[in-house]
Amino acid sequence: METVRSADEIRNWVESWRLENRSVGFVPTMGALHEGHLALVRHASQLADRVVVSIFVNPTQFGAGEDFELYPRSEEQDSELLQEGGCHLLFLPEPSTIYPDGHSTYVEVETPAERLEGEFRPGHFRGVATVVTQLLNLVRPNVAVFGQKDAQQLAVVRRLVRDLHLPVEIASHPTVREPDGLAMSSRNAYLAADERTAASAIYRSLSSARQRIEQGERSAEAIRHVLSEVLEREPLIDIEYAEVVEADTFEPIRRIRGSIVMPVAVRIGTTRLIDNFSLEVDG
Ligand code: PAF
């Protein structure tokens, strides 16, 4: 595995692969890699001949008072994991490459970025859309892989790529979970032991809601109630939202049918966690 830091180096590597007729898969990350990220890398290597992974803790997607400074950084360990995990090229852009002095261009997606994460983390998706656009332009992959755990981010990226006619395929990979169902996340490292135990209620709430839908419940309000009820039984959890939305727009729905997502965001102590289940439901 090679490691590069500059825009010229990443362009040259990818260009050399193109000349050899090799396709390029890309996995953008913020580092602190876990099995969830490695599953994205494996998926990318099934879809393309060469795999590029970027690690960049993007300041513009963190709001004031969020965990940008604290966000776990483990470059050496990440590099070893990627080396073993099938990555060909690690891209570690300098902040000055992404945000040079005088940088003043941002990418703003409206629907599906306005609700939920958009409301609770104002400016978050503007930061994500801006950095993802830049990374896609720097790497120019054939396919980029995103995790389904960040379902709204995935919907935002799909919309961005469609609306701006970016020449890349967006692929996704299912959420990788701990044995008790907790979605793998770099932020799980913040949880104290009792908080970690409490966090498994997120998966239980999503599973209960899915079961009710499978049993025939089609009222979104009833399903929101199931989600909240299970989460509320856990005293360490504060719910930010527990929703049922249409999968492309992230607009709340009344009747459950077609492609839906049940996104959940909670706070446990000072840690904020998100998760979701996506379902295809017959009318
Ligand atoms: O999902 C993430 O890790 C980040 O939001 C991303 C896509 C790498 C952009 O910074």
List, for residues 125-140, the tens digit of each pLDDT value: 999 999 999 999 999 9
The domain total for the chain is 2
Which among 263, 26, 283, 15 is positioned nearest to 141, based on CA atoms?
A: 26
Identity of residue 177: R
Examine the fold and report which residue of 138, 173, 208 is the final residue of a domain before the chain moves on: 173
pLDDT digits (tens, 9 = 90+) for 79-88: 999 999 999 9
Give the tokens for residue 92.
């570690």
Q: Whose CA is nearest to atom 6 of ligand 1?
A: 29
Residue 266 has a pLDDT of: 98
Domain that holds residue 164: 2-173
Q: Is residue 167 part of a domain?
A: yes
pLDDT, the chain, mean: 98
- Rounded Cα distance, 147 and 17, in Å: 25
Q: 190 C-alpha to center of ligand 1: Å?
A: 18
Residue 99 has a pLDDT of: 98
Q: Is the pLDDT of residue 34 over 90?
A: yes
Answer whether 30 contacts ligand 1 (Cβ < 6 A): yes
Answer whether 130 contacts ligand 1 (Cβ < 6 A): no
Q: Whose CA is nearest to atom 3 of ligand 1?
A: 29
Q: Classify 1 as helix, strand or coil.
A: coil
Examine the fold and report which residue of 173, 207, 228 is the final residue of a domain before the chain moves on: 173
Task: Answer yes or no: are the C-beta atoms of 31 and 20 closer than 8 Å.
Answer: no
Residues 40 and 91 in one domain: yes
pTM summary value: 0.98
Q: Whose CA is nearest to atom 8 of ligand 1?
A: 29
How distant is the alpha carbon of residue 31 from its chain centre?
A: 12
DSSP 3-state helix, strand, coil percentages of the chain (rounded to 5)?
40, 20, 35
88 noted as active-site residue = no
Residues 85 and 7 in one domain: yes
